[in-house]
Chains A and B, each alone.
Chain A
Amino acid sequence: DAKTTQPNSMESNEEEPVHLPCNHSTISGTDYIHWYRQLPSQGPEYVIHGLTSNVNNRMASLAIAEDRKSSTLILHRATLRDAAVYYCILRDDNDMRFGAGTRLTVKP
């Protein structure tokens, strides 16, 4: 019973930006928003996290809504290697709960 809702799957074309949405309407004030991804036959890999402000790193950007009830992971230029399941997770003191995630397919 994950606390986040994500689309089951999305498709993107190579070299184009991808916006992966996540709804977390029950988020509390102390919950951090984490994104992980899992490439085929590998363990999950950290992508990015944030609390209130938008965040950028070398992998992606995280846009957090002002009310914090939703967020969007942005891959600026999708590559074939970005094909994976992307998990949006709310982290509090004692919980790291993965949902079903969004399976991203990248077409050449």
Chain B
Amino acid sequence: DTAVSQTPKYLVTQMGNDKSIKCEQNLGHDTMYWYKQDSKKFLKIMFSYNNKELIINETVPNRFSPKSPDKAHLNLHINSLELGDSAVYFCASSQGGLAGGIGETQYFGPGTRLLVL
């Protein structure tokens, strides 16, 4: 069984559309994250959720909205997609949070490759 799974694996869409990426973890972890990896391969944290509560929201446009229906799921909704949103988006989870466990290991999903045309 995959520990952290994401769907879809690939997403090609037109500018201006609204899309969602789903993430699920079966590790029983309390904290989930979304990262964006741009074309230069830099990984940057976008959001951190601990027990369904938003902990970190880096300077991400409000077109991006994370939604956590339960602690095993953290979905990413993106409204009015722009060309610059094209990237690989990674979901991750950890037992503790960034603020609660300095030594915590994060487990990453396989990524969703988003291409906005």
Contacts and interface: CB of A to CB of B under 8 A. Distances in A.
Interface of A: 30, 32, 36, 41-46, 49, 51, 85, 87, 91-101
A98 to B, nearest CB: 4
B103 A44 contact: no
A32 B103 contact: yes
Interface string B65-104: 0000000000000000000000000101000001100110
Given A85-B41, A94-B56, A98-B42, A46 B99 contact: no
A23 to B, nearest CB: 18
Given A91-B102, A92-B102, A42 B111 contact: yes
Interface residues on B, range: 20 to 34
B106 A96 contact: yes
Given A44-B43, A49-B105, A94-B56, 16 more contacts: A30-B102, A36-B106, A43-B4, A43-B111, A44-B92, A85-B41, A87-B43, A91-B102, A94-B99, A95-B98, A96-B33, A96-B45, A96-B98, A96-B106, A100-B41, A100-B42
Interface string B2-44: 0010000000000000000000000000000100000001111
A94 B48 CA distance: 10
